[in-house]
């Protein structure tokens, strides 16, 4: 399930001529996006799925822009501390767009170790594009040259707080300071790339085909790549031999399938299904899958993904609380819309978009969806509830409240032996966190933060 979308707070961005200098378009777009996230609270959802900007059209520039933006947002506290060491006084709120340029410049010089002369020159040209920032050319040039001279010596001696304070405090209170600190440290890292193999493909053959990309077969069945490169150019992509899916994101559907005696032909409802990784897992077993999601565009991606993989599922576009077919299913998977704080390694923009009140609103929505999922689960059937959130209101609390009001339902322990180490909780639910290793001995790269519960509908 993709993160729930938050209404955008729109602020007009000054229009500028399309940059002609090589490399400028990608950096200017990167600064625009960093500005949009940090100043306007806009998420990056769907931004890099296509060209996204008339200024940037080729795949290499899109990839560069994505790298600059995500790296800047992952290291925002560190970058701001370094910039603070270069400025006599903080920039004004009205200078937020120029600040975005400086943040992207600092990422190039202090995080990604890109060539200094070109980075500084292009940053100066970026602010020169708009009358609102043109007067800061000298400042950007001076700060850039100082960063080029002093380099990593400008970085703070102690790790900076990259995440908003309210989130860091939440995690310390929920998991304890030690674990909270581990989570915060893990969110500074670029996430690993995991693949879910198509069951119709021999895994040994797939591992051999991917050999130059450093594949590791995880106990859960996912394949982790050490050096993936461009996804669409990997062996087997066009042929539908695999799909990209974090190892933790693959667990809910796997746990549901483990509960079925024979998935082939079983009726399964996938609620809030797009973009379709879990739908593909279910359909690949031969299950009779109905996938529901309210987003037409994301359901288009689901359909395209299934076509590439050679898989089939019945699709329904609409609110899963209302449009689910009036029938019972052997099993229901609800990967509910959530704050997606468990995916901040992949989506660092969400930390700057979410607010504490969002969690309350999303928890209410999850409760309604859970109620709808229960009504569609046949007596004797299984309901798997999951969220890619680290907030207990969206996980553990949801299940406690549901069970308190539904005597015909019971929590079933998830005893699958190949679960990641330390992921199983005392009550049998699963809680993964970004710093956890997906296998023992430890394999680097972490995983998304997920909560997963398996519920059984007793026959009255």
Catalytic residues: 388
Measured CA to CA, the distance from residue 424 to residue 434 in angstroms comes to 15
Quick one: which of 87, 115, 107 has its CA closest to 23? 115
Per residue in 382-405, is it b (16+ CB within 10 Å) or e — as a string? bbbbbbbbbbbbbbbebbeebeee
Strand partners, 453: 385
Sign (positive/negative) of CA torsion 65, 341, 43, 165?
negative
Quick check: 55 and 23 in contact, CB under 8 A? no
All residues at 6 or more sequence positions from 67 whose CB lies less than 8 Å from its CB, including other chains: 112
Quick one: which of 418, 240, 269 has its CA closest to 330? 269
Quick check: 102 and 83 in contact, CB under 8 A? yes
All residues at 6 or more sequence positions from 82 whose CB lies less than 8 Å from its CB, including other chains: 106, 110, 147, 154, 155, 156
Distances (CA, A) of 198 to 211, 229, 236, 311, 436: 17, 20, 10, 10, 25
Measured CA to CA, the distance from residue 427 to residue 306 in angstroms comes to 35
């Amino acid at each position: 399930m993709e993160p729930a979308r938050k209404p955008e707070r729109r602020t007009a961005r000054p229009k500028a001529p399309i940059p002609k200098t090589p490399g400028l378009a990608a950096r200017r777009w990167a600064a625009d996006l960093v500005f949009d996230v940090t100043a306007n609270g806009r998420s990056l959802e769907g931004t890099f799925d296509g060209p996204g900007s008339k200024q940037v059209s080729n795949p290499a520039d899109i990839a560069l822009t994505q790298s600059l933006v995500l790296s800047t947002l992952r290291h925002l506290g560190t970058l701001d501390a370094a910039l603070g060491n270069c400025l006599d006084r903080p920039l004004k709120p009205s200078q937020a767009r120029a600040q975005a340029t400086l943040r992207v410049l600092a990422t190039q010089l202090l995080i990604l170790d890109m060539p200094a002369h070109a980075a500084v020159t292009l940053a100066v040209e970026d602010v020169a594009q708009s009358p609102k920032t043109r007067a800061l050319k000298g400042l950007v040039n001076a700060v850039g040259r100082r960063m080029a001279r002093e380099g990593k010596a400008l970085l703070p001696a102690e790790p900076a707080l990259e995440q908003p304070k309210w989130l860091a405090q939440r995690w310390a209170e929920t998991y304890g300071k030690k674990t909270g600190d581990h989570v915060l440290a893990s969110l500074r890292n670029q996430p690993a790339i995991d693949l879910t193999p198509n069951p119709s493909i021999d895994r040994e053959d797939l591992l051999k085909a991917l050999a130059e990309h450093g594949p590791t077969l995880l106990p859960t069945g996912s394949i982790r790549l050490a050096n993936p490169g461009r996804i669409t150019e990997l062996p087997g992509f066009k042929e539908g031999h695999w799909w990209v899916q974090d190892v933790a994101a693959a667990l809910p559907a796997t746990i549901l399938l483990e509960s079925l005696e024979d998935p082939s032909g079983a009726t399964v409802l996938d609620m809030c299904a797009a973009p379709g990784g879990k739908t593909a897992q279910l359909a690949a077993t031969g299950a009779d899958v109905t996938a529901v999601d309210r987003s037409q565009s994301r359901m288009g991606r689901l359909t395209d993904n299934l076509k590439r993989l050679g898989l089939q599922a019945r699709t329904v576009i609409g609110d899963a609380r209302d449009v689910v077919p009036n029938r019972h299913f052997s099993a229901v998977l609800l990967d509910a819309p959530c704050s997606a704080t468990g995916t901040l390694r992949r989506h660092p923009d969400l930390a700057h978009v979410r607010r504490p009140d969002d969690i309350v609103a999303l928890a209410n929505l999850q409760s309604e969806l859970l109620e709808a999922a229960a009504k569609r689960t046949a007596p004797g059937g299984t309901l798997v509830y999951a969220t890619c959130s680290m907030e207990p209101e969206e996980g553990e609390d949801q299940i406690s409240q549901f069970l308190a009001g539904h005597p015909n339902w019971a929590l079933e322990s998830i005893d699958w032996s190949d679960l990641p180490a330390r992921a199983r909780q005392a009550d049998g639910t699963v809680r993964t966190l970004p710093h956890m290793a997906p296998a023992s001995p430890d394999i680097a790269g972490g995983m998304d933060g997920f909560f997963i519960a398996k519920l059984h509908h007793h026959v009255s």
